[in-house]
Amino acid sequence: MPPNDAAPAAPVDPELAALDPGNTPGLDDPAPGAAPGVSDQAGAAPGASQPASPDARRDAALVARMGIDWIIAAVVRQYPVLSYPEATRERAADLAGAVLAKHDLFGWLAKWREEFQLGAFVVGIAWQSYQVVQKAKATPPPVNDPPKPAAP
Amino acid sequence: MTDNKRRASIVAVMGATGSGKSSSIRVALDADQGGRVLLWDVKGEYLRYGVECRTRRELFDRALKAGAGPFALAFRPSFDLDIGRAQFNWFCMLAYKLGNVLVVGDELHRVIRAGWSPAGWSMLISMGRDRGVRVIAASQRPAEFDKGFWDQATVIRGGRLNGEASARTLAGVLMVPWQDIVALPELHWIQRSISRPVIVRGHIAWRAGRPVEVVDREINLPSAARG
């Protein structure tokens, strides 16, 4: 049906309309190479060479972050003596994710993920995680405070 | 039936990674008959329960298109924590304005911090009932939810937590020893509901590829706790 013949749309609640993403900019991921704060409808920076798509970047970031989180969780479970509070573990993973983001490694991971498909990407992350945990297993756990000498 | 007779329904599902939060949410989604669902789906775990929306535009347009009718939409928020928090506020406000909807928020420790929660979330928790909004909130960090949330929660389910501080918070709400929380096996849970003065212990089992709830035992709350 041509647009002109369409029935008029039902009026939208003004308060709901105020939440239209077009009326609330700046809440979306920036496009690769775009300035911070630009919505994801924006194009890539001129001259950028085939940047990874936002979806690929998001997937790569998520999988990488989960991999990091899994490594830290596995090590903590292996060595309860470390006894990290859960929040510390989570924040460590967040921090590691932030470092990856700062150096734009997510973009690199995203390209890798696009070239090698998600399955291979996940297997790669899992394999790297396994290697780290195996290495951690071979390392003696740190000891808590050493026993204090007896008082004279 | 989407109105649910305006009964408050705020379900808290707490637990560490692998404790069974997602499975508990899936059981709840399988049982829900509301017909209108908004999912905050960080990991894309619930795409069989809702149409994946990778942008706010997609989510907004699909929700509006449904009008007063049914919809099931799974929003994939930004991985960036600051953007994700802003999106969560918007997501909650949208749910509130839409009304008559089951809002499922997973991995909320990424968007709610101790002493701070988005205004939209507070609105949803304190006033959502009047608009027929029901909430399932899942997180790894119960200590970051404020007292207002715990006061409003109608069902609290706790899986294993590794940290003592988190376990103590959850234990206080569930009215059980915190060591019980730390010692829970994977997929086991302890639950308290405002509708019955009992502590329920159970676990998630898998049958024909679907998670199902199994109640192991029920214990009456101490009379002092029942007030």
Residues A61, A99, single domain; the answer is: yes
| Partners of residue B188 on adjacent β-strands | B203
Q: Are residues A78 and A4 part of one domain?
A: yes
Q: Single out the residue of A44, A9, A54, A59 nearest to residue B61, CA to CA.
A: A9
Q: How many other CB atoms sit within 10 Å of the CB of residue A53?
A: 15
Interface of B with A (CB under 8 A): 16-17, 42-44, 54-57, 60, 64, 67, 76, 78-81, 83, 86-87, 90, 93-94, 97-98, 109, 140-141, 143-144, 161-166
Residues A99, A72 share a domain: yes
Confidence label for A41 from pLDDT (cuts 50, 70 and 90):
very low
Residue type, A28: D
Give the type of residue at B123. Answer: M
Does the beta-carbon distance from A87 to B165 stay under 8 Å? Answer: yes
Structural domain includes residue A117 = yes
pLDDT of residue B207: 82
Most confident of A90-104, A123-137, B178-192: B178-192
Compare CB distances from A15 to B64, B76, B97 and report the shortest one's residue: B97
Q: Return the amino acid letter for B135.
A: V
Do A11 and A73 belong to one domain?
yes
**Domain assignment present for A146:** no
For residue A8, being part of any structural domain is answered with yes
Higher pLDDT, B59 or A50: B59
Q: What is the pLDDT of residue B60?
A: 96
Residues A61 and A133 both lie in one domain: no
Q: Taking 60 as the threshold, does the pLDDT of residue A130 lie above it?
A: yes
Quick check: is A144 in a domain? no
How much is the ipTM here? 0.81
On whether the CB atoms of residues A29 and B78 are closer than 8 A, the answer is: yes
- Nearest-neighbour CA in chain A from B60: distance (Å): 7
Both A2 and A55 in one domain: the answer is: yes
Instruction: Mutate one of B41, B78, B186 to test the A interface: name it (highest A CB count within 10 A).
Output: B78
Give B-chain residues touching A74 at CB under 8 angstroms: none
* Per-residue pLDDT at B59: 96
DSSP H or E stretch at residue B60: helix B56-66
Per-residue pLDDT of chain B (227 residues; tens, 9 = 90+): 333 456 789 999 999 988 889 999 999 999 988 789 999 998 888 988 999 998 999 999 999 999 889 999 999 998 888 889 999 999 999 999 999 999 999 999 989 987 788 899 999 999 999 999 999 999 999 998 988 899 999 999 999 998 888 999 999 999 999 999 999 998 999 999 988 889 999 999 988 778 889 999 999 876 645 44
Domain containing A130: what range?
112-137
Q: What is the rounded distance in angstroms from the CA atom of residue A59 to the CA atom of residue B173?
A: 36
Domain end call among A103, A127, A146:
A103
Cβ contact B78–A28 (<8 Å): yes
pTM, entire model? 0.67
A55 and A129 in a single domain? The answer is no
- Region of poorest pLDDT, from A72-81, A113-122, B121-130, B179-188: A72-81
Angle between helices B119-127 and B81-98 (to 10 degrees): 30
| A 20-59 near B (Cβ less than 8 A) | 20-22, 24, 26-29, 40-41, 54-55, 58
Q: Are residues A120 and A82 in the same domain?
A: no
Nearest CA in chain A to B83: A27
| One domain, residues A88 and A127 | no
Separation in Å, CA of A146 to nearest CA in chain B: 23
In a domain, A55, yes or no: yes
**A83 and A126 share one domain:** no
Single residue among A59, A77, A103 that ends a domain in this structure: A103
Residue A146, pLDDT > 60, answer no
Examine residue A21 and state whether it is found in any structural domain, yes or no: no
- Whether A83 has a pLDDT exceeding 70, the answer reads no
A58 and A122 fall within a common domain: no
A1 plus A74 within the same structural domain? yes
- Count of domains forming chain A: 2
Q: Is residue A121 part of a domain?
A: yes
